[in-house]
Amino acid sequence: MKEVYLGIAIGIVTFAYFMNVNLLPIIMVGGLLYLLYNFITNQGLLRTNSIGTLVRVPQEDFSSIGGQNTAISELKEALDFILDSDKIEKMGIRPLKGLLLTGPPGTGKTLLAKAAANYTDSVFIATSGSEFIEVYAGVGAQRVRKLFQSARDKAKAEKKRSAIIFIDEIDILGAKRGTHESHMEYDQTLNQLLVEMDGINVNDEVKILVLAATNRPDMLDPALLRPGRFDRQVRVDLPDKDGRLQILKIHVKNKPLAEDVDLEAIARETFGFSGAHLESLTNEAAIIAMRNNSDKITQKDFLQAIDKVIMGEKIDRKPTPEELYRIAVHEAGHAIVSELVEKGSVANLTIVPRGNAMGFLRQAPKEDKYIYTREQLEKQIMICLAGSVAEKVIIGNKSTGAGNDFEKAVELAKEIIFSGLSSLGIISKDDISPKKINDEVTKIIGALERKTTELLTDNHFIIHKVVNVLKEKETISGEELRSILNGT
């Protein structure tokens, strides 16, 4: 098209030249029109047809998604309304128009949406909430209309009975109206989305289902969440231990594993990892094995990869001998108290600097925990305080290296208070004074610091043993630490 316009322009200029017409005004007007066209295009006013990315039928299916059995079950139930549309119509059931996938980043919301399209043999169009928002009012609303129309047209062209529209980060598009006082474009775009979803009918030639994803459902407009629009919310949460094991098995299918690899142990040591974290973990383990010129990935490679995913790459910063000794004492304190209050809890201990940490302790709980007693929270506070206390017991003073530990200890103490487990009893977080909270935090941490000091003072000789091994080897596994504690 550009070539056609260029040819016409050259023809007009040539004709005007032979007719002795002054070309200067024509060139100036043409230049202004060209600049105006570029400005409008760059601002997005002519890009309404390009909204969304078309994937006819995604290759992903539910069998390739691990750790989300509950979410898959809920999603399949809703998708059966598309597959059994004739039966649904006979029963007079209103079709589900929208499903909202909520949960932390990296848990597989986009994969679930693609698998849903595969499951129903639907045309799949993916877009993001940010694609609808422009400076000029009305552009976003026009793009929403184009998106739904494009879904219908593509389904007909592909001879499909259904289409799935996936909107990622819908909180950008569907935020509560009135929160953008100086920008009515947001509200107009949301209003158009509501209108389009209301227009979805059971008798439509192409059945449309809107899937959306967000990790901030609290930001969405209530009109978007009411029945008849997003009828259901499907929670896509972090996987439990069994879920993590499923995900690991999926991601190691194309990787050569050594005989010593224990995926169940890796799943146990990766509490809090999302599916994206686990995929990165298996990839990093393969990279480490390749660096070591190994043909297979070993358990040691996986354990190093866990540290890298959590803390980042090793850094070149080298502490002085005095600092290295203090770091070793600090980390030994954490590890010894962790083992004494909860046997078998230490997975790895190192003084190798990674990211912003000069050393760290990685714990491996025997089972995932989601609720805690006061005693369990107190044990975690003692572990947080143990590094600083060990410095005081062995070296005679403390350092700034415990700043993050203290922040975590305060958070845990506040969790005790706000859960009604402290001496204050059940309280209102909004009505209690900050001074009362601070006094109770000080009281809790002070008592636990004294208890931790007694524990490490009684075991100061073990601290020296662990420190000597750390200085020599830099890293100690949980099994090695337990051997030192048992004197073997």
Catalytic residues: 331
Q: Do residues 328 and 357 touch, judged by C-beta distance below 8 A?
A: no
DSSP state of 131: G
Instruction: Please tell me the distance from the alpha carbon of residue 352 to that of residue 61, in angstroms, as a whole number.
Output: 41
Q: Do residues 395 and 326 touch, judged by C-beta distance below 8 A?
A: yes
- CA distances to 80, 111, 117, 164, 395 from 76, rounded to whole Å, are 6, 14, 11, 14, 60
- CA distances to 90, 94, 228, 334 from 203, rounded to whole Å, are 11, 10, 15, 64
Instruction: Please tell me the distance from the alpha carbon of residue 305 to that of residue 297, in angstroms, as a whole number.
Output: 11
Q: Do residues 147 and 51 touch, judged by C-beta distance below 8 A?
A: yes
Element (H, E) at 348: strand 346-350
Residues in the chain: 488
Distance of CA 437 to the CA centre of its chain: 32
* Residue 184 one-letter amino acid: M
Instruction: Please tell me the distance from the alpha carbon of residue 115 to that of residue 166, in angstroms, as a whole number.
Output: 12
Token pair of 294 as six digits: 């190994």
Query: Phi and psi of 227, rounded to 5°?
Result: -55, 140
Token pair of 102 as six digits: 């909520």
Instruction: Give burial (CB, 10 Å; 0-12/13-18/19+) of 461.
Output: exposed
Quick check: helix, strand or coil at residue 461? helix
* Residue 456 one-letter amino acid: L
**E strand residue ranges, 108-247:** 123-128, 162-168, 207-214, 230-235
Taking alpha carbons only, the member of 106, 104, 102 closest to residue 233 is 102
Number of Cβ within a 10 Å radius of residue 289? 23
Sign of CA pseudo-dihedral 310, 314, 316, 318: positive
Radius of gyration of the chain (CA): 30
Number of Cβ within a 10 Å radius of residue 156? 14
Instruction: Please tell me the distance from the alpha carbon of residue 166 to that of residue 168, in angstroms, as a whole number.
Output: 6
